[in-house]
């Protein structure tokens, strides 16, 4: 640790006392832990209670040139939490107040440490809900940082679609508000969407105002099976192109179904499977389900069953949200490497099937699951990191997937973010636009203290 960083920690200790920790175990816990990327802990971890503490901490770090990394729940997958240059990790999880709910306007304002489940629990008696649901119970601040998505994205959009305004602590410690609660505005640059997806490289989000939605009158969930992944993807493409207002449509390949059966104690047919959900009126849900059944029949879809039983629905989606842990349990002693890509819906079947062929050709274990209604899918490679051949195969599969998606006019990451894990693909995906991104970063954070070494090399 440099002398200046030691001075910074001394000053932080004077300001924050025992809220600041330099304990190695705490520091490791607050760095990257979710995949095989190396853990690179910060020099100290600060647990904050309000935006003023965030501001003061950033001002001290700015004075000493010390990097700042924000931490929510620690569920990011691409090394966003690592501190390759050392620095201060600011733990936002105690900033978990729900500031305001405006039922009439269908909005809520929350601190950055509020989790999606906590918000929906708070809203349970209002007839409203927050729809963005990444697999982990992430904080909304973290979901803003990575432009998170989830199973409901096909109908309700992603974080960029539901965030109205942000309060952000900037690199100089100043706290700004990016917009109002109005549903639209033509006034000035769209700073809200500049911050969304910036992965903590431009500032630290302290407060978020989001759109809420009415709980549907009726919710129907269902499941169906296909001879192979290609046929399942073709059915998804036709469903979306037909304009069916489906709320959720999730793909699980045979390996992922096997994992979910074992982990969640299910008894599903271990073949390519779609999990679906319909929202609307009683009559509307019946119409949607009937039409969906007709569509999938043309692609070999079988055993389609659906109902409105809440307990069954929760069991089904709990199993889907536990897919990460279910996959890891297939090979408990291996390292899990979760990756994602997103392509235009017309290229989905090709991208998924070619990726599975790559995995099978190298005799790897890599369950596939996806929010396929918007062309986004995930692969969990299970790798023995002591086996050089497996590591080489895994790296090859990941690179082929990322470049395949980009070549299909898609993206190397639909919702995980870039972090450290996908920096090498940014130039291929963005070309000359990457230079302008770097210019924005330099203008806002000239000393490069906000989560450095992320998004690009």
Q: What is the pLDDT of residues 215-244, one digit of tens each?
A: 999 999 999 999 999 999 999 999 999 999
pLDDT per residue as tens digits for the range 297-346 = 999 999 999 999 999 898 888 888 889 899 999 999 999 898 999 999 99
Residue pair 173/55 in contact by the 8 Å Cβ criterion: yes
Element (H, E) at 193: helix 191-195
**Pairing mode of beta strands 44-47, 88-91:** parallel
Q: pLDDT grade, residue 457 (50/70/90)?
A: confident
Residue with tokens 């994992």: 259
For residue 188, count other CB atoms closer than 10 A to its CB. 8
Unique residue bearing structure tokens 């995995």 = 359
The whole-angstrom distance between residue 207's C-alpha and the CA centroid of its chain comes to 18
Predicted TM-score (pTM) of the model is: 0.94
Q: Which residues of 288-301 are buried (b: 16+ CB within 10 A; e: fewer)?
A: bbeebeebbeebbb
In the chain, CATH 3.40.462.10 sits at 217-443
Judged against a pLDDT cut of 90, whether residue 135 lies above it is answered with: no
Looking at the chain, the domain(s) classified CATH 3.30.43.10 span: 3-91
pLDDT greater than 90 at residue 35: no
For 217-443, the fitting CATH number among 1.10.101.10, 3.40.50.2300, 3.40.462.10, 2.40.110.10 is 3.40.462.10
pLDDT of residue 32: 85
pLDDT mean across residues, the chain: 95
Q: Where in the chain is the domain with CATH 3.30.465.10?
A: 98-214
Give residue 389's Cα distance to chain centre: 30
- C-alpha to C-alpha distance for 385 and 230, rounded to whole angstroms: 31
Does the 3-91 domain belong in CATH 3.30.9.10?
A: no
Average pLDDT over residues 106-129: 97
pLDDT for the residue 12: 98
Structural element, H or E, at residue 71: strand 68-71
- Answer whether residue 67 shows pLDDT above 90: yes
CATH class of 98-214: alpha beta
Q: Environment class of residue 197 by beta-carbon count within 10 Å: exposed (0-12), middle (13-18) or buried (19+)? A: buried
CA distance 5 to 66: 6
pLDDT band at 288 (very low <50, low <70, confident <90, very high): very high
Cα separation of the two ends of the chain: 23
C-alpha to C-alpha distance for 48 and 50, rounded to whole angstroms: 6
Looking at the chain, the whole-number percentage of residues with pLDDT higher than 90 is 91
């Amino acid at each position: 640790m440099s002398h200046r960083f030691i001075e910074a920690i001394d000053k932080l200790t004077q300001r924050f006392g025992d809220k600041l920790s330099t304990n190695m175990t705490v520091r490791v816990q607050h760095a990257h832990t979710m995949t095989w990327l190396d853990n690179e802990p910060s020099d100290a971890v600060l647990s904050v209670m309000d935006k003023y503490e965030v501001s003061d901490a950033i001002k001290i770090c700015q004075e000493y040139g010390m990097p700042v990394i924000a931490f929510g729940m620690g569920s990011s997958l691409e090394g966003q939490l690592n501190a390759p240059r050392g620095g201060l990790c600011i733990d936002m999880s105690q900033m978990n107040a729900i500031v305001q709910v405006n039922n009439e306007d269908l909005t809520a304002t929350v601190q950055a440490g509020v989790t999606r489940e906590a918000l929906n629990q708070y809203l349970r008696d209002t007839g409203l809900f927050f729809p963005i649901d990444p697999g982990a119970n992430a904080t909304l601040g973290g979901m803003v940082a990575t432009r998170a998505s989830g199973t409901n994205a096909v109908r309700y959009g992603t974080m960029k679609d539901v965030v109205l305004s942000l309060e952000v602590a900037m690199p100089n410690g100043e706290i700004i508000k990016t917009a109002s609660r109005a549903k639209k505005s033509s006034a000035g640059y769209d700073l809200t969407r500049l911050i969304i997806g910036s992965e903590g490289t431009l500032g630290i989000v302290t407060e978020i105002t989001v759109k809420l939605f009415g709980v549907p009158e009726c919710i129907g969930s269902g499941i169906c099976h296909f001879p192979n992944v290609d046929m399942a993807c073709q059915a998804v493409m036709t469903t979306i192109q037909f304009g069916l207002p489906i709320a959720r449509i999730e793909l699980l390949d045979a390996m992922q179904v096997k994992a979910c059966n074992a982990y969640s104690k299910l008894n599903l047919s271990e073949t390519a499977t779609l999990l679906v959900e319909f929202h609307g009126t009683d009559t509307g849900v019946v119409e949607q389900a009937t039409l969906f059944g007709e569509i999938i029949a043309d692609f070999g879809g079988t055993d389609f069953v659906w109902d409105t039983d809440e307990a069954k629905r929760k069991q089904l989606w709990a199993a889907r949200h536990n897919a990460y842990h279910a996959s890891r349990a297939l090979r408990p002693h291996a390292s899990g490497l979760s990756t994602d890509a997103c392509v235009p819906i017309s290229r989905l079947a090709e991208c998924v099937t070619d990726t599975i062929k790559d995995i099978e050709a190298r005799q790897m274990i890599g369950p596939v699951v996806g929010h396929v209604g918007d062309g986004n899918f995930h692969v969990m490679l299970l790798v023995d990191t002591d086996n050089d051949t497996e590591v080489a195969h895994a790296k090859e599969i990941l690179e082929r997937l990322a470049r395949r998606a980009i070549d299909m006019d898609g993206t190397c990451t639909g919702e995980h973010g870039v972090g450290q894990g996908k920096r090498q693909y940014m130039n291929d995906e963005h070309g000359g636009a990457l230079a302008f991104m770097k210019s924005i970063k330099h203008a806002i954070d000239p000393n490069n203290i906000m989560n450095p070494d992320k998004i690009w090399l």
